[in-house]
Amino acid sequence: MRAHFLLFTLAFQVGVAVSECNKAPHSHPAWQALFTSQIDASGGRGGIYDAGLFTPLETLDALSDSRFTTFGHPAFPRYSVRAKKTRFCDNTVNAYTGYIDIEARHLFFYFFESRGDPSKDDVIFWTNGGPGGSSSTGLLMELGPCRVTGDGEIKYHKESWNTNANLFFIDQPIGVGFSYADYGETASTTEAAAKDVAAFVAIFFENFSQFKGRAFHMAGESYAGRYLPLFAAEVYDQNPWLAQNGLTPIHLTSIMIGNGMVDMFALVPSHYEMMCENASLPPVISISECVALKKLIPRCKKWMKAECVDHFDAVNCAAATDFCGDSMGAAFASTGRNPYDMSRNCEGDTAESLCYPLANNIAEYLSKPSIQTLLGVDPAVTGNFSVANMTVNAIFARNLDHLHPTSDHISALLEHGVRVLVYVGSYDWICNWVANERSTLDLEWSGQSVFASQELREWKVGGRHAGVTRSAKGLTFASIYAAGHMTPYDKPVETLALIQRWLTGVSL
């Protein structure tokens, strides 16, 4: 029987086949005359346009608090954005909500100005994982300006990451959270989702020139270990095209991967170490089970290397990872523990509440008609809100998206001067510190030997042990002691300190 640990990371399953519906691109009518070349089929970008005919909104103050303002850029004729001011979650700062419209597809986002100096502070883009997990979890449970309580209300969260940064949350890909499609289509791979994200980032910065040149960081957790390196690479690689067409390149400064799934083939054997080798806690399964699983490790490593790494055979690679992953997953599931925090038992169903009843409170809160009206949720979004879309999860699984490591993208980002932070809670099982540390040590890049030569050292917050870290040449690995998969939820003070030091370039 297969063990299903759903969301924030990959589900150990292959879902039903759902084909992606790709519409022929078309320009918005008002912009068609601005172009002298056809849309680029790979990115939906237009050709040369008359820059004098584009007028940016300049500042977020231009947005209304009673209706959506629609804006875009002629360089991206398939994309537009509708946004409004929304008095939501944090009354101490300006907040905004809206949609990125890609023809018949629509991505929902939240944006909160910094509690510090919004005119100067960096910009952070946040996405949760899944694939299929809504970033409302990050917003209302982890690092956002407020948190949903057990009684379904919200309260001010003083350790929010918008303490010193302007902060985005985005429900992506299409179909997640309040995002929707007119005809049911969605992105089916991370590569497809990356193009939508990169276009939105360019449109936002070009319209709101108050943010031009501002340091931009892309952050997320779990399956974001797959998302972020590709999203960031798309943003970075788009910059020369932006410059050639008179737009300002995005000042992509770093990516921050929390408890990430960067390399599935490093992750599977690490599950054994977390269960049986005192990696963070005493062994959680029996000696006989550990002995049996240990015998599988050499076979699994050899099988996955042959069919997934040396060459990619979709059928055999899926078979190898399913067998090895399911063996580890079933052993852990038998303990009744929370796969996102080994130190506690699972509360509720992993598929619905992710072992955290608070996830149900978030769903109930965002299902309220009054809250949806406040946020400007499109009437096309019907039914109760869900923190997880299992259809999206199944589509990505069916396309074997999770079986493509992002290590090479991370290496390339480092070579191009984009800093990389990999942080992980020590009690997480599903995307644990053992696999994450190993992935950073195994990165093939010009700084590998220097990074690997650094000893792990303790880092502290308020004079107390917060975890261990290793750093060199723009790459930092950091563990957060006694935190689970959602480190900002478990250790908000320590995680905020980590992020603040990272943004300012201060060593941990």
User: Of 222, 270, 280, 327, which one is the catalytic site residue?
Assistant: 222
Fill in the DSSP letter of residue 25: P
Q: Is 428 a residue of the active site?
A: yes
**362: its two tokens:** 């978030």
Q: What does the alpha-carbon distance between residue 388 and residue 359 come to, in Å, rounded to a whole number?
A: 10
Rg over alpha carbons for the chain, rounded to the nearest Å, is 22
Q: What does the alpha-carbon distance between residue 488 and residue 258 come to, in Å, rounded to a whole number?
A: 9
Q: Is 117 a residue of the active site?
A: no
- Asked whether 247 and 206 are in contact (CB, 8 A), the reply is yes
Residues paired with residue 109 on neighbouring β-strands, in sequence order: 98, 170
Q: What does the alpha-carbon distance between residue 342 and residue 284 come to, in Å, rounded to a whole number?
A: 8
Q: Is 367 a residue of the active site?
A: no
In angstroms, the first-to-last Cα distance of the chain is 43
**304: its two tokens:** 């996955």
- Asked whether 454 and 460 are in contact (CB, 8 A), the reply is no
What distance lies between CA 332 and its chain's CA centroid? 25
Q: What does the alpha-carbon distance between residue 461 and residue 27 come to, in Å, rounded to a whole number?
A: 52
**327: its two tokens:** 């063996």
Q: What does the alpha-carbon distance between residue 418 and residue 251 come to, in Å, rounded to a whole number?
A: 10
What distance lies between CA 277 and its chain's CA centroid? 29
User: Of 326, 401, 428, 490, which one is the catalytic site residue?
Assistant: 428
User: Of 179, 217, 485, 490, which one is the catalytic site residue?
Assistant: 485
| Residue with tokens 């020369």, as numbered in its chain | 240
- Asked whether 4 and 11 are in contact (CB, 8 A), the reply is yes
Q: Give the 3-state DSSP-derived string for 217-247, with helices as H, strands as E and coil as C.
A: EEEEECCHHHHHHHHHHHHHHHHHHHHHCCC
Q: What does the alpha-carbon distance between residue 503 and residue 217 come to, in Å, rounded to a whole number?
A: 9
- Asked whether 232 and 252 are in contact (CB, 8 A), the reply is yes
Residues with a known catalytic role: 222, 428, 485
